């Protein structure tokens, strides 16, 4: 019933489409880009509910204030204190290894502003926990959510991050000028 409601809302009423070329493994990291607007969160949540996808997401701790904090935690949010260097990647990797099922969605830009310096924590979590990275692109121009590539981390971070960035080069974010893939 819930999946049907969100599916109707996203695909029929809002006009979005999907192109997914793989089944979800029991453990994974979703790398979602471009991230140019707060609407990305809304579209992502609608998509997850429509597809029955269970995954957590990282978000700066400043968003976890009442009443939003309660909602974000219920939706799977994990607050991140970006001003401190913590062992978040190690903790997430350890948790993934010990879990029977694990899903984590990360926007590698780490901001809605243009940046060519993408965060690499998602890659290190996947590498340490031996998880596939599912590449999900959101294209507002085409109203398309597309996932047709999986990266298996091999430790060649520079080459694989370049490959990941290249996958997203043709996607148009809500605010296209806020996206840099090079």
With tokens 């926007």, the residue in question is 107
Section 50-79 average pLDDT: 73
User: Across residues 48-64, what is the average pLDDT?
Assistant: 79
Q: Which helix (H) or strand (E) element contains residue 73? A: helix 68-74
**Radius of gyration, CA atoms only, the chain:** 16
Q: Would the CA dihedral through 165, 160, 148, 30 be positive or negative?
A: negative
> What are the pLDDT digits (tens) for 84-132?
566 878 888 988 999 999 999 999 876 667 677 888 989 999 999 999 9
In which domain, by residue range, is 21 found?
Answer: 2-178
126 in Cβ contact with 103 (< 8 Å): no
Q: How many domains does the chain have?
A: 1
pTM of the predicted protein model: 0.86
Q: What is the DSSP letter of 163?
A: H
SS3 call for 52: coil
Ordered DSSP codes for 6-31: HHIIIIIIS--EEEE-S---SEEEEE
**Percent of the chain whose pLDDT exceeds 70:** 83
């Amino acid at each position: 019933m819930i999946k049907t409601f969100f599916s109707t809302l996203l695909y029929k009423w809002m006009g979005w489409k999907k192109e997914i070329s793989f089944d979800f493994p029991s453990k994974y990291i979703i790398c979602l880009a471009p991230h140019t607007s707060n609407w990305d969160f809304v579209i992502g949540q609608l998509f997850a509910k429509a597809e029955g996808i269970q995954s957590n997401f990282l978000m700066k701790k400043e968003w976890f204030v009442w009443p939003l904090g309660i909602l974000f935690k219920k939706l799977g949010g994990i607050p991140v204190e970006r001003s401190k260097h913590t062992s978040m990647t190690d903790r997430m990797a350890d948790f993934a290894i010990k879990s029977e099922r694990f899903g984590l969605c990360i926007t590698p830009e780490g901001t809605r502003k243009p940046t060519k310096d993408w965060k690499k924590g998602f890659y290190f979590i996947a590498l340490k926990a031996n998880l596939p990275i599912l590449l999900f692109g959101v294209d507002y121009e085409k109203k398309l959510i597309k996932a047709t590539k999986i990266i298996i981390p091999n430790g060649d971070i520079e080459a694989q991050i370049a490959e990941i960035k290249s996958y997203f080069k043709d996607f148009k974010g809500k605010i296209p000028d806020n996206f840099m893939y090079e």
